[in-house]
Structure 1
Amino acid sequence: MSLSPALALAPELIHLDNLLSLASITPDDAGCQRYLAAQLSRLGFAIQWLPCQGVSNLIARRPGQPSLAFSGHTDVVPAGQHWQVNPFALTEMGGQLYGRGIADMKGGIAAFLVALERTLDAGAELPGVMVLLTSDEEGEAEFGSRVIAEHLAGQGQLPPWILVGEPTARHHSGDTLRVGRRGAISGTLTLSGKAGHVAYLPSGANLLHRALALGERMAALEWDQGAADFPGTSLHITGLEHGDWLDNVTPSTVSIKFNLRYSHRTNSDAIDQCIRALVPADLSYQLGWSRPCEPYFSQFADQQPNFLTRVEKAVFAGLGQFPVLSTAGGTSDGRFFRAQGAEVIELGLPNASIHQANERVEKSEFLRLIEIYQALLASL
């Protein structure tokens, strides 16, 4: 069954339906934040816009000393092909809700908005609660949450607790919390030399041979092993490029492309030094880096109930079990808020179909996430 404005929607699906109908492909917000600003303003939130380099950023806050902020992104990846349904419409089929961004992460935003409505309707004040939104998470993430975090910290208005609505769950909403993430960085190591005819060139002077040997050494590097609660560092070679190909001529340049995921026990400067130390002294080279994302790891205050305890209890109320704490997965905007001193927890929908055709979640899991968010807000 395809849901459309002509059909009666359950109240908890209205915001989700409106958000999914907007094709907000990075960094185009496509009106999502204007819609959300109108809803939040109706709930007593003051609205502040913080645009930066074509990116839409929204800060919404309840009166009072900053307490808890929900951080989310309204941008999505392109829909791509092979969809069974319209990617930019909410569709319910077989107990599942379909749409681009429903898991990553318009579903989380819509669930938090419904939880806000219910909690405020019940008479809560929610002093100092904020909603922080950007349209620049799926891209380079240079002008979104980083800008928001730095702005709030500079004003002394950054909440101590940041709840990120990323899809963290494995099977059921709330079963996994992210309390940290590894860093990530991509590198290109370009070697330069002389092209040569294979009939006359010694094997050791073949630049491609040397690049292959260097790549093998890079792959064999021993990095830190992380810790029991944080994965260690790893390097993967992702490409080897050498220009136009001739079957009897060796190349004059070869580029090794690679990516590292690294723990909080190292940093991008140390990685750069390690790679440079591997290159033989007689080789001319250039080393470039792109898409750097620093790691983060939240440590929580000792006093009880602290942020983690409150979130765990909210999950138990909605799921009937306590969550697993994890630092696995890719990067997230949580790093920007942690860098400014906030405690960060990521809690959202199951992530099995994110960035895929026919992105979807179980309707029951969307409803469960609303209950978890509502329990957390009630604890404030």
Structure 2
Amino acid sequence: MPLLVAAQCQSELAHLQALIDRPSITPNDAGCQPYIAAQLSRLGFEILHLPSQGVANLIAWRPGTPRLAFCGHTDVVPAGLHWQVDPFTLTEVGGELFGRGIADMKGGIAAFLTAIERALDQGANLDGLMVLLTADEEGEAEHGSRVIAEFLARQGKLPPWVLVGEPTARRMSGDTLRVGRRGAISGELILSGKAGHVAYLQSRENLLHRAMMLGAELCALPWDQGAPDFPGTAFHLTGLEHGQWLDNVTPGKVTLRFNLRYSHHTNAELIDQRIRALMPADLVGELSWSRPCEPYFSSFDEQQPNFLTVVEKAVFAGLGQFPVLSTAGGSSDGRFFRAHGAQVIELGLPNATIHQANERVSKAEYLRLIAIYETLLLSL
């Protein structure tokens, strides 16, 4: 039987329940940030709401020299169908906690908030600690963490260390840290020509044939292979459209769609140049790009205070083993803070069910993440 979690009975789940119960489907915050702001305010944090184009953003800080910021997002993807429980009510079934956004990433936010309370109860000095939240991560991500990072950089108040609470783990909280992510960009190439009757056309005059050959050349185009600690660039065709189909008429317009995930050894401008250079001179084509996300990679200078060492020690204390370092997966808001020089590490819950029906995490792993965050805060 599902057990609806009673917040007053389980203090370690109180913040999690309060967040899951708010249906904050992107870009709607649904009151998550005001709730978090109220909790942080009573813990001695200053509060600044920084809305941008209707998107809710929150900057909270304890007075002092900026040292560490926790970055996260309160928005979630739509719940969809086929849930065993109410997606917007925190529910425990067989030791697992269910709810939309519990892994991605309200669980990380609630865990960090609980860890702050516990660390302060033990007398930790958290002066200069920041919490940075947006409701624009699952969408276009134009008016969220980008705005926060740019605002703090202009003020000279961006901390040198940024911890992102994205779900990075494979099996157990802390088993994997993200220290970088590939960039991503989607392209659309519209080819225009002359429709014709197949009885009177040569094969090379068939625009669909030309588009398919160009698609094959794009797929065969060599890209960088990355590095031992960073995946290389990958190109994928994602669509081929040619309008209404007739069995004896070739189309006059064909659209190729594709996506690239690219390493920090290349950039969107170079990608554009290489694809334009492949276009045959006798083809009329219109190339456009959308959803650009720049890559990032955090390097750790041994001569400077090393954020990675601090995080690894906290993970070892909570997990009994050191984490795997990874740069796999999609894009994240970490790129916006890395662009301004911060060392960025992503550490969160297991990600096996994110964006799926019945999104869930083990209660034990949620409690483990609280402990890891608490150890990290106490180490400051």
What TM-score results when the alignment is normalised by the length of structure 2?
A: 0.98
The 3-state SS of whatever aligns with 1:280 is coil
Q: Which residue of 2 aligns with 1:233?
A: 233
Q: 1:304 to 1:375 in 2, by over 3 A?
A: farther
- Superposed counterparts of 1:23-38, under 5 Å: 23-38=23-38
Runs of 4+ with deviation above 3 angstroms: 1-9
Q: Which residue of 2 aligns with 1:306?
A: 306
Q: Which residue of 2 aligns with 1:106?
A: 106
Q: Displacement, 1:281?
A: 0.3
Q: Displacement, 1:300?
A: 1.4
- Structure 1 stretch displaced more, 4-13 or 298-307: 4-13
Tell whether 2:201 aligns with 1:201. Answer: yes
Q: Which residue of 1 aligns with 2:175?
A: 175
Amino acid at match of 1:323: P
**CA shift digits 1:98-143 (9 cap, x unpaired):** 0000000000000000000000011112010000000000000000
Q: Displacement, 1:94?
A: 1.0
Q: Displacement, 1:3?
A: 4.7
Amino acid at match of 2:175: D
Amino acid at match of 2:108: G
Q: Which residue of 2 aligns with 1:144?
A: 144
For these two proteins, the number of residue pairs brought into alignment is 380
% identical aligned pairs: 75
- Superposed counterparts of 1:54-203, under 5 Å: 54-203=54-203
User: 1:3·1:89 contact (CA, 8 Å) conserved in 2?
Assistant: no
**Alpha-carbon distance between aligned partners in 2 of 1:91 and 1:218, rounded to the nearest angstrom:** 47
Amino acid at match of 2:158: L
**CA shift digits 1:142-189 (9 cap, x unpaired):** 000000000000000000000000000001000000000000000001
**Alpha-carbon distance between aligned partners in 2 of 1:30 and 1:336, rounded to the nearest angstrom:** 24
**Alpha-carbon distance between aligned partners in 2 of 1:150 and 1:3, rounded to the nearest angstrom:** 43
Q: Displacement, 1:2?
A: 4.1
Amino acid at match of 2:350: P
The 3-state SS of whatever aligns with 1:188 is strand
**CA shift digits 1:287-310 (9 cap, x unpaired):** 000000000000113147511000
- Structure 1 stretch displaced more, 4-13 or 128-137: 4-13
Q: Which residue of 2 aligns with 1:250?
A: 250
- Superposed counterparts of 1:296-375, under 5 Å: 296-303=296-303, 306-375=306-375
Q: CA RMSD in A?
A: 1.0
**Alpha-carbon distance between aligned partners in 1 of 2:158 and 2:375, rounded to the nearest angstrom:** 23
**Alpha-carbon distance between aligned partners in 2 of 1:18 and 1:183, rounded to the nearest angstrom:** 34
User: 1:2·1:90 contact (CA, 8 Å) conserved in 2?
Assistant: no
User: 1:238·1:259 contact (CA, 8 Å) conserved in 2?
Assistant: yes
Q: 1:57 to 1:275 in 2, by over 3 A?
A: same
Q: Which residue of 1 aligns with 2:379?
A: 379
**Alpha-carbon distance between aligned partners in 2 of 1:303 and 1:110, rounded to the nearest angstrom:** 34
**Alpha-carbon distance between aligned partners in 1 of 2:304 and 2:176, rounded to the nearest angstrom:** 21
What TM-score results when the alignment is normalised by the length of structure 1?
A: 0.98
The 3-state SS of whatever aligns with 1:337 is helix
Q: Displacement, 1:198?
A: 0.9
**Alpha-carbon distance between aligned partners in 1 of 2:38 and 2:347, rounded to the nearest angstrom:** 25
The 3-state SS of whatever aligns with 1:228 is coil
Tell whether 2:262 aligns with 1:271. Answer: no
- Structure 1 gaps of 5+ residues are none
**CA shift digits 1:217-244 (9 cap, x unpaired):** 0011110000000000000000001111
**CA shift digits 1:83-105 (9 cap, x unpaired):** 01000010100110000000000
Amino acid at match of 2:44: G
**Alpha-carbon distance between aligned partners in 1 of 2:190 and 2:7, rounded to the nearest angstrom:** 58
**Alpha-carbon distance between aligned partners in 1 of 2:205 and 2:169, rounded to the nearest angstrom:** 51
